[in-house]
Amino acid sequence: MAVNQTCKGCSADVWVTEAQIQKLLAGMEGKGFSFVSETVYQTRLAVCRTCPSLVYGTTCSHCGCLVEVSGKLAGKKCPHPAGSKWEKAEQASASAKS
């Protein structure tokens, strides 16, 4: 029996495909999670995609969360040490609409 003796943190497992992310999101449907609106979700993803703390194209280096998943959850907040970038973007978006 082969045993994986590589460090998980150093393996290719940190790379998550779009299909895996979509499977995670689909698995969350109907399980009691509260999600943000599509507009808020897209705003959050846009912020994350321009953030220098995004690693591997999917993961926040501050919390280790997949941004496509955490950005969808209503109870999550951007963990940036300088303050929530999501909150700033959402406030700017709301101000632009009013």
Return the structure tokens found at 60. 């926040």
pLDDT for 38-75, tens place per residue? 999 999 999 999 999 999 999 999 999 999 999 999 99
Asked if 73 contacts 35 with a C-beta cutoff of 8 angstroms, the reply is yes
User: pTM of the predicted model, to two decimals?
Assistant: 0.80
Q: Of 4-8, 61-65, 70-74, 77-81, give the lowest mean pLDDT range.
A: 4-8
Report the run of H or E that residue 59 belongs to, with start and end: strand 59-60
Contacts of 77 (CB under 8 A, 6+ apart): 84, 86, 87
- pLDDT-derived band at 89 (thresholds 50, 70, 90) equals confident
Residues in the chain: 98
